[in-house]
Chain A
Amino acid sequence: MAADDSDIDAGSVNLFSPEFAACPQPTYRDLHARCPVMRSPLTGGPILTRYEDVVWALRHPEIFSSEMEMQMALGTQRPMIPQQIDPPVQTKFRKILDPQFSRKRMQLIEPELRAHANRLIDEFIDDGGCEFNSSFAIPIPCNAFLALLGLPREDLDLFLGLKDGIIRPAGGFEDPEGAARIRVESGRQIYAYFEDVIADRTKRPRDDMVSYLLKAEIDGQRISHNDILDITFLLLIAGLDTVTSTLGCNTAFLAANPEHRRRIVEDPELIPNAVEELLRWETPVTTVPRVVKQKVTIGDLEIQEGEVAMLLIGAADVDDAAFPEAGRVDFDRESNRHVAFGAGPHRCLGSHLARFELTTAMEEWHRRIPDYAIEPGETPRYSPGIREVQYLPLVWERSAGSAR
């Protein structure tokens, strides 16, 4: 905690600035060295950065609860299920949902994910460049989302607008009231949309998620109409955002670090491990909030009941105490217990789908466009919060692109 020669007040770090989002790892590591458990100068709320502390908190929902007060809500009228409810009820919902998102289940759609990536690449490979986010990272998770939920392609732009309205509303961090209004309106539209879907699938069941949920039971009882709305709300905002963010962060890294890129081009079998290492290094979902249900001491910080703690999983994933040479990106890393998908009972429901989407996208991209760079004179732009690379202009030599 020594702040002897400090010219940086670690407490003044703005975890929600675009500058931080572009390159958070040095800040995390600085926080580990100076104040691994601290209070936010903006909110006064506790911030945890050490792997050990973050993981402990994630595994103890009875102390670090996901059951937020409604003012923390993202335009929702009720908690999203299962993300914003805790065990034991949360466990009952996960028992219904986990089988729908298991690795075996997701393996079945892997060929379609791969074909989808190739169709996208076909669109721009001959142009010798693209804006990566709009051309590739945003569309990558859309197909699987539409297929799993059985929703029409023509509504995709609506869904993308609605999830952005919740996750990164215009005005964002500068205009909290305006952002809250956009969130509430986006939330209202999401509920209304899925009301219609539920009404339709009640009459005409199909092979899709809502039809499945309409038949699902907990303790011998059908789950409620509102439960289904609260699950689909989460699937919409979670299913269309984080894979896009991760793919952008990974590709920006690989564009800027050709020696790492060459390794996966020369040895594509390294890609699954590279995906894990980049998940660790980039951890696009940097922070998760938890409300403290009982007084607890973490490090030398006493945390009171009712406080909202920020768990910096991005910081946890670059903690030297948990990873040898945590500050180095190493695709040969053999021990990697990263928590980019969280830990404990709230482990990301879509993690297996996300891994297939990321791996197939990176394999197909690097097979067909092995050599690329950030367009000279341009700088990628990152959004704060969940680290989406909203502007990532890439260029490559036209002849370098390979046919299917």
Chain B
Amino acid sequence: MKIRVDMELCVGHGRCYMLAPDLFDEDERGYCKLLREDVPPELQPQARMGEANCPEGAIEIEED
């Protein structure tokens, strides 16, 4: 699984780094900072939570 963040859409809601802290962090403004593009199996639930709770639809998941 891979994840991508469209930084044109991110406005810093912060749901991703609240719900999936192993995959996302925040930059100085509170915008999304992607920690890793490749998602190991144990973090796939976090990736799905991040994607499903971004109000901007800025997170995209690519399943293997």
Contacts and interface: CB of A to CB of B under 8 A. Distances in A.
Interface of A: 55, 59, 94-95, 98-99, 101-104, 272, 276, 334-339, 341, 343-345, 347, 351-352
B29 A334 contact: no
B13 A341 contact: yes
Interface in B20-43: 26, 28-31
Given A98-B30, A276-B53, A337-B52, 16 more contacts: A55-B55, A59-B56, A94-B29, A102-B26, A102-B29, A102-B30, A103-B14, A103-B30, A104-B30, A272-B18, A334-B49, A335-B53, A337-B54, A339-B55, A341-B13, A343-B56
Given A103-B17, A103-B18, A98 B12 contact: yes
B52 A347 contact: no
B55 A352 contact: no
B55 A343 contact: yes
A336 B17 CA distance: 15
A59 B56 CA distance: 9
A338 B55 contact: yes
A94 B11 CA distance: 10
Contacts of A347: 11-13
Contact of B11 (A95, A103, A336, A345): A345
A37 B39 CA distance: 41
Given A103-B17, A343-B11, A351-B14, A336 B53 contact: yes
A336 B31 CA distance: 19
A334 to B, nearest CB: 6
Interface residues of B, number: 18
A330 to B, nearest CB: 14
A352 B30 contact: yes
Contacts of A99: 28-30
B31 to A, nearest CB: 8
Nearest to A344: B11
Nearest to B48: A334
Nearest to A102: B30
Nearest to B54: A337
Q: Which 10 A-B pairs have the closest CB atoms?
A: A335-B52, A102-B30, A98-B29, A347-B11, A337-B55, A99-B28, A103-B14, A343-B55, A339-B55, A336-B53
A352 B14 contact: yes
Contacts of A101: 30
Given A98-B12, A337-B52, A104 B57 contact: no
Nearest to A104: B26
A337 B29 contact: no
- A276, A337, A338, A351 pick with most chain B CB within 10 angstroms: A337
A122 B53 CA distance: 36
Contacts of B18: 103, 272
A341 B56 CA distance: 12
Given A335-B52, A337-B55, A343-B55, A95 B26 contact: no
B12 A337 contact: no
Contacts of B53: 276, 335-337
A347 B12 CA distance: 8
Nearest to B10: A347
13 contacts: A94-B29, A99-B29, A102-B12, A103-B14, A334-B49, A335-B52, A335-B53, A336-B52, A337-B53, A338-B55, A341-B13, A345-B11, A351-B14
A104 B18 CA distance: 11
Nearest to B49: A334
Contacts of B26: 102-104
A337 B52 CA distance: 7
A290 B52 CA distance: 28
- B17, B18, B49, B53 pick with most chain A CB within 10 angstroms: B53
A334 B55 contact: no
Contacts of A352: 14, 30
B5 to A, nearest CB: 15
B30 to A, nearest CB: 4
A98 to B, nearest CB: 4
Contacts of B12: 98, 102, 347
A272 to B, nearest CB: 8
Contacts of A335: 52-53
Contact of A334 (B11, B17, B28, B52): B52
Contacts of A336: 52-53
